[in-house]
Structure 1
Amino acid sequence: MVRVALEAGASLKEHTAPGDLLVQCLHGKVSFNLPLESHILESGQLIHVPDHLPHAVVAIDDAQLLLTIALDR
């Protein structure tokens, strides 16, 4: 589990995770960008990202995200 805090306008460039990813927006609002679609996540909302799927994040407001990565080991 990882907690990420982003100020409004900050971004995480496109990357992948080494396992299935569950992202929960704890506070604020972000644009969560996948190869074929984008989602706006607000406080309390979740998104699942399959293993190794490229994604990027842009903070619309100051935001905090909780990332849970399920590693196959």
Structure 2
Amino acid sequence: MKISEELKGKEVVDNSGNRIGKISDVKRNPESDKVESIVITEGGDATKMGLGDKKVVSYTNVDSVGDKIVLRGSLSR
């Protein structure tokens, strides 16, 4: 399974543990096939339907990947 498929649907939190949303899409570099950014959809049930506010975050801002994705710092609203 590709990492992009593993990341989709995972919950995203900031480094303080505050919930940001869930990953709705993963953008890859077509030449290197490396993950460049993640698309985070904010909002509870809206996330399940693909609705809600979306933020594109560079993959370099990801601190760790596990059951949840932890970002370095926090996202400004």
Q: Same fold (TM over 0.5)?
A: no
Mark the structure with the bigger radius of gyration: 2
| TM-score between both structures, scaled by the size of structure 2 | 0.30
| TM-score between both structures, scaled by the size of structure 1 | 0.31
| Higher strand proportion (structure 1 or 2) | 1
